[in-house]
Amino acid sequence: MRRSEKAVTDPKELQAIIQSAQVCRLALADQDTPYIVPMHFGMKGNTLYFHCAQKGRKLDIIRRNPAVCFEVEGDLSIVNTGKPCNWSTRYASIIGYGIASLVTDPQQKKEALNVIVSHYAPDIVYEFQEKKVDEVAVLKVTIISMTGKKSGYSKRGFSAKN
């Protein structure tokens, strides 16, 4: 990272950034063409989970090349300094790399879907109908590495409450 003073390395701070994010952008390599898609997600341990349709370009790409990149950001805002060329952005973001695979076991799919639901509604555990579980695909991304970056925050760091 070019600006090391903006690096986020504290695991609790990285977790807070992920928890505050509403969307995760999943980047894939379709041979020599990049492809990126914003998705709802959840995280448990060192794994991101996404739900999607059972067919489509992203699944076709992942079957050929499971290496992915992902990006999230939290609490993004423009800082208007009054001088347009000196504006800034307040943000906390993470870029990471991982390996994607499909979750096929019905019980593991239900658990992964609840991880996603709990990202947006932490107090809800949902009982999914078998038919609904069968109708969706669940992607699992095992995180290999990730780096955090923040700007416009005090030295005490980023928290989901900022």
CA pair distance 23, 155, nearest whole angstrom: 26
Instruction: At 29, list the tokens.
Output: 């390599």
pLDDT digits (tens, 9 = 90+) for 29-80: 999 999 999 999 999 999 999 999 999 999 999 999 999 999 999 877 788 8
The pLDDT of residue 67 is 97
CATH of the domain at 28: 2.30.110.10
Q: pLDDT-derived band of residue 148, with 50, 70 and 90 as boundaries? A: very high
Are 29 and 67 a contacting pair, CB within 8 Å?
Answer: yes
> Total structural domains in the chain?
1
Q: pLDDT-derived band of residue 157, with 50, 70 and 90 as boundaries? A: low
Inside any domain, residue 97: yes
The pLDDT of residue 72 is 97
Q: If you compute the radius of gyration of the chain from its CA atoms, what whole number of angstroms results?
A: 17
Inside any domain, residue 155: no
CA pair distance 124, 117, nearest whole angstrom: 7
The pLDDT of residue 119 is 96
Strands (DSSP E) found in the chain: 7-8, 24-30, 33-39, 42-44, 47-52, 67-79, 88-103, 137-151
Q: Which amino acid is at 129?
A: Q
| pLDDT greater than 80 at residue 153 | no
Inside any domain, residue 110: yes
Are 10 and 153 a contacting pair, CB within 8 Å?
Answer: no
Inside any domain, residue 101: yes
Q: pTM to 2 decimals? A: 0.88
Are 155 and 13 a contacting pair, CB within 8 Å?
Answer: no
Which structural domain range is residue 19 located in? 4-147
Question: Mean pLDDT across the chain, nearest whole number?
Answer: 89
